[in-house]
Structure 1
Amino acid sequence: MSRTVIDLDDDALAEAAQLLGTTTKKDTVNAALREIADRRRRAAAIERMRQMVDEGEIDFAAIGHDDADGPADGKGQSAA
């Protein structure tokens, strides 16, 4: 791990710590860096999938899926 001295926006750091559930500056900055990298990676993957759908490489209709509001067993009745 590298060590860097930087000026931080104290208000932004405090808000990020609260949102991320971190307690130290180091943990907050590292968690924020990981989160933004993960978000960008997921966004790029979604965009690649959209392009594949547009190009006919993926057909979600052929995959089949359960109704998001229904049970996973597909029988139309909830387990509760």
Structure 2
Amino acid sequence: MQTTLNLDEALLNEAFQLTNITNQEELINLALQELVRSRSGSSGASRRKKNLLDLAGQIQFVADFDHKTLRETRHAAD
């Protein structure tokens, strides 16, 4: 399908530099694929990524948690 677009030239140039793509059509197709993949969870994983804001208030922190002890215990089991 052929479409005429007015694109932000600075954004377009930055995308070209980040991807090393030189063709506008390829760049737009890649951008659309990434958008669909990120929004639909179609990257092979059946679950969607949770928005971090959805987790607000659900994580409980323990003040005296010692991550080093946990690591030592986990490696000792290997």
After TM superposition, the score normalised by the length of structure 2 is 0.50
How many residues of Structure 1 are paired with residues of Structure 2 in the alignment? 51
Cross-structure match for 1:8 = 7
Contact 1:20-1:31 at 8 Å conserved across structures: no
Q: TM-score, normalised by structure 1?
A: 0.49
5+ long unaligned stretches in structure 1: 48-66, 76-80
Residue identity opposite 1:45 in structure 2: R
Question: What is the CA RMSD across the aligned residues, in angstroms?
Answer: 2.8
Aligned equivalents of 1:12, 1:46: Cα separation in 2: 26
Task: Give the alignment of 1:1-80 within 5 angstroms.
Answer: 2-42=1-41, 45-47=48-50, 75=78
Partner amino acid, structure 2, of 1:13: L
Q: Which has the higher contact order (CA 8 A, sep 6+)?
A: 1
Structure 2, gaps ≥5 residues long: 42-46, 51-70
| Partner Cα separation in structure 1 for residue 35 and residue 18 of structure 2 | 13
**Matched position secondary structure for 1:46:** coil
Query: Which amino acid is the alignment partner of residue 33 of structure 1?
Result: L
Given that residues 22 and 28 in structure 1 are in contact (C-alpha distance below 8 angstroms), is that contact kept between their aligned partners in structure 2?
A: yes
Q: C-alpha offsets along residues 8-36 of structure 1, whole Å, 9 cap, x if unaligned? A: 11111111122223111111111111111
CA distance in 2, matches of 1:41, 1:3: 25
